[in-house]
């Protein structure tokens, strides 16, 4: 039985980790930390978990997890994980970091987040469908929610070097912005509305560029614009892939069927929708080839809190410790 801890367990992603790990047959939740909620019971703070998790939040003390945990999930703001992760690794604990601190090279991180990286360690990028080196890793950098939906949707064509330029448009539910209200997530501003933000400068772009060019044997130009709309969960991705050469629909179909085969959380769908993946670790993927074959429109739907965060983190944990990839994650979507 794996002993797991979660640092930063009270936010949206941390709470989702607690929910999923509480039902995982191979895991015992050993410790949940929160600076502001230390001493309070989980059921008091997260009523949906009342009677399911009999623990109290602890103060933030990573050293206190040594000898207690085999794996720790760090679900903390960008820039905070680098203060905690090195000590956990030095204590022999494996780590799945859900912040952005270890997804990029040191230089790329400092350029994108405009701060020095003071605790850099090499990590495996935790998109298991793309990175076979996840099993056995000591530190896994869980991907961002937007890169997960975008890269998985485009991967079959990227991997063949067919994509010259990729233009992604994503619609996200408000939970992706975290639990603190902002101008774009405050209900009166968002109700019956949809708001673009960081239109040409979202911090996930370097992550997408990194992974697209790892997959593709030829350089790819990439553009991304996110929007937030009045739903709680989910990201719907529309990607316009401009190809180097014409590809007929039958070839595209074969590439998607071959690439997704054997990947338990990828499902091909005629028209992906958020209702078909809500609460699950599935990524539904669809595509349309434009007449003439020079553009393929790819589509994906994920739950940003599950496949886009907590569920993918547990998928990575399973692989790191040699457990079945799907263990604790085979729950069906909630339509």
The catalytic residues are 145
CB atoms within 10 A of CB 248: 10
- Rg of the chain, C-alpha, whole Å: 19
121: helix, strand or coil = coil
Whole-number Å distance between alpha carbons of 271 and 276:
10
Q: What angle do CA 175, 176, 178 make, to 5 degrees?
A: 70
Phi, psi dihedrals of residue 14, rounded to the nearest 5°: -60, -45
Alpha carbon separation from 91 to 61, 65, 81 (Å, rounded): 13, 9, 15
Total H helices, total E strands in the chain: 9, 13
262 Cβ contact partners less than 8 Å away, ≥ 6 residues apart: none
> How many CA atoms does the CB half-sphere of 229 hold within 13 Å?
12
Give dist(CA 47, CA 218) in Å, integer: 50
Helix (H, G, I), strand (E, B) or coil at 288: strand
Q: Which two tokens stand for residue 15?
A: 């709470």
How far lies 165's CA from each of 52, 147, 183, 247, in Å? 47, 16, 32, 15
Q: Which two tokens stand for residue 240?
A: 């316009």
Q: Which residue shows structure tokens 């809500």?
A: 278
Sign of CA dihedral 71, 278, 259, 220: negative
- Which residues, in sequence order, are CB contacts of 279 under 8 Å at separation 6+? 233, 303, 306, 331, 333, 334
Cα(113)–Cα(14) distance, rounded to whole angstroms? 22
């Amino acid at each position: 039985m794996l002993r797991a801890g979660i640092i930063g367990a009270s936010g949206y992603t941390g709470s989702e980790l607690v929910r999923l790990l509480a039902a995982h047959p191979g895991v015992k939740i050993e410790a949940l930390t929160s600076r502001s909620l230390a001493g309070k019971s989980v059921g008091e703070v997260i009523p949906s978990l009342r009677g399911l998790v009999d623990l109290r939040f602890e103060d933030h003390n990573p050293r206190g997890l040594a000898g207690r945990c085999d794996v720790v999930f760090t679900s903390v703001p960008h820039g905070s994980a680098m203060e905690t992760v090195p000590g956990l690794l030095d204590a022999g604990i494996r780590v799945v970091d859900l912040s952005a601190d270890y997804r990029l090279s040191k230089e790329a991180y400092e350029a994108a987040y405009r701060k020095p990286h003071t605790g850099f360690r090499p990590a495996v990028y935790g998109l298991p469908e793309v990175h076979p080196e996840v099993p056995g890793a000591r530190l896994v950098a869980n991907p961002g929610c937007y890169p997960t939906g975008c890269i998985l949707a485009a991967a079959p064509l990227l991997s063949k070097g067919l994509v010259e330029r990729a233009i992604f448009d994503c619609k996200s539910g408000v939970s992706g912005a975290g639990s603190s209200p902002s101008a774009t997530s405050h209900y009166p501003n968002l109700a019956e509305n949809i708001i673009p933000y960081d239109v040409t400068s979202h911090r996930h772009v370097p992550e997408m560029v990194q992974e697209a060019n790892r997959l593709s044997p030829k350089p790819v130009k990439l553009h991304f614009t996110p929007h937030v709309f009045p739903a709680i969960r989910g990201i719907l991705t529309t990607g316009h892939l401009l190809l180097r050469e014409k590809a007929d629909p039958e070839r595209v179909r074969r590439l998607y069927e071959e690439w997704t085969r054997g990947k338990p959380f990828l499902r091909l769908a005629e028209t992906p929708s958020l209702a078909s993946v809500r609460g699950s670790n599935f990524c539904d993927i669809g595509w349309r080839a434009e007449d003439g074959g020079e553009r393929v429109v790819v589509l994906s739907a994920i739950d940003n809190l599950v496949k886009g965060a907590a569920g993918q983190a547990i998928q990575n944990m399973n692989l790191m410790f040699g457990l079945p990839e799907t263990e604790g994650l085979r729950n069906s979507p909630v339509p």
